[in-house]
Amino acid sequence: MTERSPLAPAFFPDLPPIAGVTARVARARYKNWDRCDLTYVELVEGTAVAGVTTQSKCPSPEVEWCRDAIPLGSARALVVNAGNANAFTGHRGRAAVEAIAAKVANHLDCLPSDIFISSTGVIGVPLPVDKAEAGLDAAFIAAPCGWEDAATTIGTTDTYAKGAHASAMIGGTRVELVGIIKGSGMIAPDMATMLGYIFTDAAIDPKLLQQMLSAANKRTFSCITVDSDTSTSDTVLAFATGKAGNAPLTSMDDAGADAFAAALGDLCRQLAHLVVRDGEGATKFVEISVEGAESDASAHRIALSIANSPLVKTAIAGEDANWGRVVAAIGKAGEPADRDRLSIRFGATQVASGGLAVEGYDEAPVAAHLKGQDIAIGVDLGLGDGRATVWTCDLTHGYISINADYRS
């Protein structure tokens, strides 16, 4: 990993084990590096699965494999390859995925469709099957590892391991949820983020789990952006082993369903924020809230227009209260807006209203706010009840440096 992001948490959280989940890591050596780059997670029989995948029209064969397998609802293992995205690799890429699934299915005596696979890294290089199979052989006999090792192994340009925890009560039974995620650049998912994996011991029907994950995704992973670029490989998968012993959830009307959905949403939000805080070259975490839009969807598009604006992001990096750049980003979004109803704030300070700067406003508190690491921008369009919040980071020269050297 490169130099740790200044926005990183002080430490990796203490995450509980999840009954029915065993993780192992190994060196497949997909790149010329001295680190583990293959993560193998065994899941107990009867594990339910749900997932969301990239909106890219050029997805990897791993994404296509997961899309076909998710509706079947069951999972026995997860394999994550780091350093090679295996995207835009034609029939050789698909053959590599099939070979991995077949090898793990043979090892576990299950169906290949029960094996979920992700790869992340350089696009356009076929995943070497010999390295993948050797890595799996090593993983099969490796000692089980903790969540931090698994989170570190799935990373590429990440500067720190990312994990989070939530819990819920279903009836009188406490269920645990743990998530690990990787992502730093090429983050504008509109579905999920780069690669994220959620594990819970709750008993829940896969269709209900899918309903909950899709809803949580809409409010979290689909509301983050680092650089406006959507990956070919973005995937978030949720696995539920059923080992907590709760009465199985089959409907949102079941007791405890609301609590579990809330915990899942909280976990996804934590993971989404960790990705933004590790944005390539980032020094500021930025929350952009839009209200008063004609619809929630319109507010979301306007918020993303602001969040993806290089002019806004560089102004924040330079700690410059240039609210005119926010106006420009609103105007270019292609959504209903009225200049003379528009209000803008930085932090708690209103800086513009009614089509012009607030008369006599004091820029000192705004300047002080922008010197911090957590930045808030608020917009009120004054048109309706639509609202949305998205999260992004600033844009610094560090982003250029990291991506200019990405393949070396």
- 42-85 pLDDT, tens digit each: 999 999 999 999 877 888 899 999 999 999 999 999 999 999 99
Q: What is the mean pLDDT of residues 291-306?
A: 97
User: Do 108 and 133 meet the contact criterion of CB atoms below 8 Å apart?
Assistant: no
- Asked if residue 10 belongs to a domain, the reply is no
Q: Is the dihedral of CA 186, 188, 191, 197 positive or negative?
A: positive
**pLDDT at 132 > cutoff 90:** yes
- 2 domain-assigned: no
131 assigned binding-site residue = no
Q: Is 64 annotated as a binding residue?
A: no
280 is in an annotated binding site: yes
Please give the residue range of the domain that contains residue 348: 285-404
pTM across the whole model: 0.92
The answer to whether 54 is a known ligand-binding residue is no
- Least Cα distance to 188 among 264, 125, 266, 279 occurs for 279
Number of folded domains in the chain? 2
Cα–chain center distance at 213:
12
pLDDT grade, residue 361 (50/70/90)? confident
Tell me whether residue 1 is in a domain: no
Tell me what the mean pLDDT of segment 170-190 comes to: 81
- 193 marked as part of a ligand binding site: yes
Give the CATH number for residue 54: 3.60.70.12
To the query of whether residue 193 is one of the catalytic residues in this protein, the response is yes
pLDDT at residue 231, as a whole number: 64
pLDDT of residue 55: 79
Average pLDDT over residues 295-318: 94
For 218-248, write each residue's pLDDT tens digit.
Answer: 999 999 988 666 667 789 999 999 999 999 9
Rg of the chain over CA atoms, in angstroms? 22
Residue 355 and residue 249 share a domain: no
Please check if 308 is assigned to a binding site: no
Per-residue model confidence (pLDDT) at position 36:
97
Residue 371 has pLDDT above 60, yes or no: yes
Q: Does 355 reside within a domain?
A: yes
Q: Nearest to residue 204, comparing CAs of 261, 168, 242?
A: 242
| Residues whose CB is less than 8 angstroms from the CB of residue 173 and which lie 6 or more positions away in sequence, other chains included | 244, 245, 246, 247, 256
So what's the pLDDT on residue 129?
Answer: 97
Q: Which of 193, 200, 220, 235 is catalytic?
A: 193
399, pLDDT greater than 80: no
Whole-angstrom distance, CA of residue 188 vs CA of residue 347: 24
Average pLDDT of span 338-354: 94
Q: Which of 277, 304, 320 is the last residue of a domain?
A: 277
Percent of the chain surpassing pLDDT 90: 80
> Could you tell me if 73 and 204 lie in one domain?
yes
